[in-house]
Structure 1
């Protein structure tokens, strides 16, 4: 039987990693807005889709009652964060962002990924505690 948390309404907006992801998305959006139409449509659309998926998966996962489902959504957020890093690299290679901007956004992505991994470990420990208690 899958570990379930005590039913309660939780606010994903209180998660530090969610707040960090939203700030990161805002920075990316401001950069993409300055690009010409074609670059916005192709690379910009992909970067924004992948980066917003990080926050969306955190929100969806945090609203789950079943802990293993939350782990799955956090894992999706990790994948979307890595995908965003790839698109940022492509933007740098296409000379849409400079090396300094790339490094700043990439370092933020690394920080978000570390926070997501820590979150997975925390939720998995809750799963283990629930199994031992049950």
Structure 2
């Protein structure tokens, strides 16, 4: 008995090519999706590290200012000089370092007299920034 061609089981060449093509398209889509997800997965960690570094720098500033209050005759002026010195407390961008006053309506106004008692300091790292007021 001879078997005919129609009795044989298996896949045709066209079926295999179509299956491979669909699999390749789905694989490319999966790789693109996973690549985007993996490349952005580090963003929250970097943001947290920047925030923690910013808090650490401010803790150093606070500790130093408390020490200056006990040991320095002009603690606010010395502290302002240190804040404005690049790298004194670490690596940060100084956004603001100025003497201020609050007027009768509690609005912030610049202080131009020598007896200013409030120093406003704003520093930033990456997308994070922190502002603190130092007083004597």
Greater share of residues in helix:
1
* Band of TM-score, shorter chain: 0.3 to 0.5
Greater share of residues in strand:
2
TM-score after normalising by structure 1: 0.35
